[in-house]
Amino acid sequence: MGEKIYYRGSVKPEELHQLVRRWFKHATILVLGECEVDYTGRASSKASGSWRLIIIKEDGTVLVHESVGREPINWQPNSYVTTQLEGDTLILKAVRSRPREELVIRLRGDCEVLIAKLGTGKFVISGTEKDIIDFLANNPRIIDENAELVSKEVSTPHGRIDLVLRRKDNTLILVEVKRELADVEAVFQLRRYVEYYARLGISNVKGVIVAQSLTPAARKLLGDFGLDYRCIKVSEGNVYEREVC
């Protein structure tokens, strides 16, 4: 297959500056170093100085990981990454235009770096999102005991709604399905669907996210926006069970 590691070693900020400029969009860059992290966009957050793992993927996805948990403390999809030097500090910016979001990482001192070419091989999984959507379409009462299916994959200017259900009191239920974890992006997407139907003059509209788990931020936003959550566990043999989560 050939060597897929282009660089590994300890570097100073000015060296990392050149490496990111050279390899961004051509390889995956992993950086271990002391950093502070600031995010501004649909919300805002700050993380004080600590050793963290930073991953910069070829498509502009940037993730910042700490010592515990599977989820990054910050992440930015499909962003444009730039770097600049301020003394012994490298400022790495990941900027996304739609919606406008900016992730700023300030790295101080020497860092450990690995730059490698990752693949995109064939990936097969049982119990995909489509499987779950099809299952729920045939069993809408898992979402609401009084609901019946109206349609699947309904197109809107904001994307496709996975399921539209209707209760006996004519309340519409818009369902966004995630196979595993639902994050804040899923919540905002569902809210856009609900607001779109409201602008059409349909007042009795509810929004429900279906997933195996929620991020803490997503759970809070659901409450803030008046949206609901149904926990569906995917077990062996593609069996789906509703649970209280």
pLDDT, position 44? 87
pLDDT, position 119? 83
Alpha carbons within 13 A on the beta-carbon side of 160 = 9
Using 50, 70 and 90 to split pLDDT, how confident is the model at 234?
Answer: low
CB count, 10 Å around CB of 60? Answer: 17
- Reduced to 3 states (helix: H, G, I; strand: E, B; else coil), residue 219 is helix
pLDDT, position 99? 79
Q: What is the CATH number of domain 129-243?
A: 3.40.1350.10
Lowest mean pLDDT among 10-24, 73-87, 134-148, 163-177: 134-148
> What residue segments make up the domains of the chain, in order of their start?
5-116, 129-243
Alpha carbons within 13 A on the beta-carbon side of 60 = 14
Of 158, 143, 133, 153, residue with least CA distance to 208: 143
In tens, the pLDDT along 25-43 reads 999 999 999 999 999 987 8
**Domain 5-116 classified CATH 3.30.70.20?**
no
Pairing type for strands 172-177 and 205-211 reads parallel
Residue 128 backbone zone (phi > 0: left; psi -120 to 50: alpha; other: beta): beta
Beta strands in 41-171 (DSSP E): 44-56, 62-65, 74-76, 80-86, 89-96, 101-116, 147-156, 159-167
Report percent pLDDT > 70 for the chain: 91
pLDDT, position 235? 56
* C-alpha distances in Å from residue 105, one per residue of 30, 37, 58, 118, 222: 14, 5, 18, 23, 28
- The pLDDT mean for the chain works out to 88
pLDDT, position 55? 98
In tens, the pLDDT along 73-116 reads 998 888 999 999 998 999 999 998 877 899 999 999 999 999 99
pLDDT, position 123? 44
Instruction: Tell me what the mean pLDDT of segment 49-77 comes to.
Output: 92
pLDDT, position 237? 47
